[in-house]
Amino acid sequence: MPVGTQATVKSLSPGDLLAAGTQIILGNTYHLSLRPGHERIARLGGLHRFMGWDGPILTDSGGFQVFSLAHLGRVDDDGVTFASHLDGSPQRLTPERAIEIQEALGSDVAMAFDQLVDPGRPPDAVEAAMRRTHAWAERCLAARSRADQALFGIVQGGVDPDLRRASVAAIAGLPFDGIAIGGLSVGESKAEMAATLDVVADALADDSRVRYLMGVGSPADFFTAVERGVDLFDCVLPTRVARNGQVWTDAGRLNLRNARFLDDPGPIDPGCACEACRNHSRAYLAHLFRAEELLAYRLASVHNVTYTLDLMRRIRSALADGTYASLRDVVTEQYASTGSGSGKPPITDR
Amino acid sequence: MPVGTQATVKSLSPGDLLAAGTQIILGNTYHLSLRPGHERIARLGGLHRFMGWDGPILTDSGGFQVFSLAHLGRVDDDGVTFASHLDGSPQRLTPERAIEIQEALGSDVAMAFDQLVDPGRPPDAVEAAMRRTHAWAERCLAARSRADQALFGIVQGGVDPDLRRASVAAIAGLPFDGIAIGGLSVGESKAEMAATLDVVADALADDSRVRYLMGVGSPADFFTAVERGVDLFDCVLPTRVARNGQVWTDAGRLNLRNARFLDDPGPIDPGCACEACRNHSRAYLAHLFRAEELLAYRLASVHNVTYTLDLMRRIRSALADGTYASLRDVVTEQYASTGSGSGKPPITDR
C-alpha cells in the first residue's frame, strides 16, 4: 500500500497510482483527524471521494503517530492524551474514538487502536503495552458500527518470542477480519525482525485471515516477510527516498543526484514501463533534481511505486512457477549494500 | 505558450501539457545554457527529446534574463558580459552566441538577441538600446545556420511612439519569420501597453507575419493584445500564481488558501474539464495547499494552464462568430479587481 498520509500519496495523483498498478492505499487517521478533520471529510462524502480515489483504502488507527509524532501527554488504560504536532492543541484518542474517526473517514479497512513501545524498553513495559493493546482490541470490536468496514487487530509484544506468542493468541482469538503485525521496523535488527516473524507465522499457521506487516518495507524486507506468510504491507520508503533522488531498479539503488547520470541517456530502469521510464532519461531526472523542479519528485515517485508493486507481482509469479528462491537471491543481493534507505523512516512521514 | 524555464513547465509533465491543450511551449536559453548546458542537451538529442515534449518549442534569446536576472557586467556593441545567477561564473552572450545556443537546443522557433532597458530610463538610453537591438538583429540573421528553425525579430523602443515606429520599420524590414514585441509588461501602465500596441499594430498593418507579445499575460491582457493583432503569448503567470493558490475561473480569480473553500464540495470551475476540475473539489485543493502537499501545485497549475488555453480558444471562436465584444467585457470585468497577480512577474521565474 502506498501511503497517503494527508489524503495524497506525496506528489502523486490518483491517476498516477492507478497507472502504477496500485490496488489499495493507506490513509493516516492521526493526520487526517487533525487536518482537514474527519468530520469535514465525512461531510464531503468520505475519504474516497475527498481524495478522488475509488479503490480500497486502509486507515491506520493513529496509534503509531500518537506514540511517535505527537507530544505525548498521558497514557492510561482508557486512552492517550497528547498535543497536536500542528498547533500543540490538546487531543485525546481512545479505542472508541479511533473507531469513530475511521468510520467517519469511511475506509474499507480500519485498524484497532494499539499502544506502541520502543523495543528497547524493559520487558515489563513491553508486556504492559501489549496487554493494554489486547484490552483496547476488544473495545474496538465492541465500538464498531459499520457493517461495510473491515477491522484488523494488531499483534504486539516486541521481539520477545513468548510475548509475541501470547499476543497472537489474544488477537487471533478475537473476531477480527485480518491480523496485523505491529511493533516491527521500529529500530530492531533485521535478524530480530525475521525471528519475530517466524514466531508469528508459527502461531498463525492455522489461521487463514489476511496478514499485514505494518511499516515495511524495503525490497529485501518483502522477501523476509512473504516467506513467513505476510500478504500486505505499507511503507513510505518508495516515495520518501524518491524525493531524495533514490530510485529502485533491477540494478539496485541509484541516486539520480549523482553527477554520472547527467549525461546518461537511458531510462531509470530499462525493464520498467512507468511514465518516467517510458518518457524520460536518467539525464533529464538528474537535471530536474539539481534544478529542484517539482517534476523530479513526481517522476521518481511514480517509478519507485511502480517498481515496488511490480516486485510484489514478480514475487507472486515466482511463487507460482517455482522460481521464488532465485528471485529472492537476486533482489536481496541487489539491496544488500549499505546506504540502504531502509531502517526507521522519519516519524513525520509515516 | 506555457513557460518551461528549466526544461519543464513547473510541476507539469508533457502529458499534463497535452491534456491541457498545449500547442507550443517556451524554453529559456539563459537558464538552459547554464544548467544543464546546451552542449549537453544537444548530445542528448536536443531539447524536445531531453524533456520528452514532441510539440513545437520556442526558445527566447536569453536577453531578458541577462538584463534582469544575471549580475550584469558590461554591455558593449558586441554583446553582454554577466555573472551567472547560479554560481557567479563569468559568462558572455552575443547575438552569434545566442543563435549558436538556440541551434544546439534545436527549438522550432529561435528569438533574436535584444537589449532590454527599463522603460523608466531616459529617452536616449531607450533609443540606444533599440539601435543596438537592430544591429544585433542583423547579426542574428547572418549567424543562423539551421534551415529547420524559424527566427523571430524583436521590436523594442519602450513606450515612445516614434521609437516604436522606428523599431517596427527596422525589424519588419528584415527577413525574420515572425515579429515579436518586446519591452512591454515590464512595469509600464496598462494604458501605455495598449497605446504602444496600437502604434505597433498600425505600423505592421500590411505585414502578414505572426506577431508575438513577449511576457504577457493575464486574462484581461489577452484581449488588449488580440484586438491589436497579436497571435502568440508567453507568460509564467498561470503556473506561478497557481503555486500560490490562485486559480483563474469563469467567476474570476479565487485563492484556494482562503478558509471558505475548506468545505466547498464543488470543482474549481464548473465549466472546466481539466483533471483537477473533473476529479477534485475546491475543499480538497484547499486542504492540499494548507498541508503543503506537492499535488496542490500541480493540480492548480493544470487548471490555470487549461483555463488560459481555453480562453484563447474562446477568443478565437468569439472572433469567428461575432461575440468577441461580449466575451471581452465579461472577462475584463471578472479580472478588473485588485490583487491581480498580473504586473511584473518575479524575474527568477520568467
**Along chain B (350 residues), what's the average pLDDT of each consecutive run of 10 residues?**
98 98 97 98 98 98 87 91 93 97 98 91 94 98 98 97 98 98 93 97 98 95 97 97 98 97 98 98 98 98 98 98 98 74 40
The Cα–Cα gap between B209 and B180 comes to: 10
Burial letters A164-179, b for 16+ CB under 10 A, else e: bbbbbebbbeeebebb
The Cα–Cα gap between B2 and A121 comes to: 56
What is the DSSP code (8-state) at residue A178? Answer: E
Q: Which of B7, B15, B44 sits opposite A265 (nearest CB)?
A: B44
Q: Which of A6, A12, A291 sits opposite B6 (nearest CB)?
A: A291
User: If you measure CA to CA, which chain A residue comes closest to B7?
Assistant: A288
Of A18, A31, A34, A44, which to mutate for an interface test with B (greatest number of B Cβ within 10 Å)?
Answer: A44
Residues of chain A in contact with residue B293, where contact means CB-CB under 8 angstroms, are 6, 8, 10
| Residues of B carrying an active site annotation | 60, 234
B284 and A15 within 8 Å at the Cβ level: the answer is no
Q: What's the pLDDT tens digit per position in B8-53?
A: 999 999 999 999 999 999 999 999 999 999 999 999 999 999 999 9
Residues of chain B in contact with residue A262, where contact means CB-CB under 8 angstroms, are 36, 40
Task: Give residue for cell 484488523.
Answer: A152
Let me know how long chain A is: 350
Within 8 A by CB and 6+ apart from B242, the residues are: B297, B300, B301, B303, B304
B298 and A294 within 8 Å at the Cβ level: the answer is yes
Residue ranges of chain A with pLDDT lower than 50?
Answer: 338-350
CA distance A49 to chain B (A): 8
CA distance A253 to chain B (A): 23
Q: Which domains does chain A show, CATH number per domain?
A: 3-235 (3.20.20.105), 240-334 (no CATH)
The Cα–Cα gap between B39 and B59 comes to: 15
A13 and B299 within 8 Å at the Cβ level: the answer is yes
What is the DSSP code (8-state) at residue B296? Answer: H
Whether A83 and chain B come into contact, CB under 8 Å, resolves to no
A283 and B36 within 8 Å at the Cβ level: the answer is yes
Q: Which of A52, A279, A283 sits opposite B280 (nearest CB)?
A: A52
Helix, strand and coil in chain B, % to nearest 5: 45, 15, 40
Whether B283 and chain A come into contact, CB under 8 Å, resolves to yes
> What is the C-alpha R_g of chain B?
20
Give yes or no for a contact between B304 and B242, defined as CB atoms under 8 angstroms apart: yes
Distances in Å between the Cα of B298 and the Cα atoms of A10, A29, B248 are 12, 25, 14
B52 and A14 within 8 Å at the Cβ level: the answer is no
Q: Nearest CA to A182 among A268, A274, A306, A67?
A: A67
The Cα–Cα gap between A128 and B348 comes to: 57
What is the DSSP code (8-state) at residue B291? Answer: T
What is the phi/psi pair of residue A207, to 5°?
A: -105, 125
B263 and A290 within 8 Å at the Cβ level: the answer is no
Q: Which of B7, B262, B280 sits opposite A36 (nearest CB)?
A: B262
Q: Which of A16, A60, A114, A221 is catalytic?
A: A60
Of A260, A293, A299, which to mutate for an interface test with B (greatest number of B Cβ within 10 Å)?
Answer: A293
CA distance B10 to chain A (A): 7
A287 and B45 within 8 Å at the Cβ level: the answer is no
Active site residue A234: yes
What is the phi/psi pair of residue B198, to 5°?
A: -60, -45
Within 8 A by CB and 6+ apart from B316, the residues are: none
Give yes or no for a contact between B283 and B262, defined as CB atoms under 8 angstroms apart: yes
Q: What is the DSSP string of A300-333?
A: HHHHHHHHHHHHHHHHHHHHHHT-HHHHHHHHHH
Whether B32 and chain A come into contact, CB under 8 Å, resolves to no
Residues of chain A in contact with residue B11, where contact means CB-CB under 8 angstroms, are 294-295, 298
B40 and A15 within 8 Å at the Cβ level: the answer is no
List, in sequence order, every beta strand (DSSP E) within B208-285. 210-213, 232-233, 246-249, 252-255
Q: Are strands A57-59 and A25-27 parallel, antiparallel or unpaired?
A: parallel
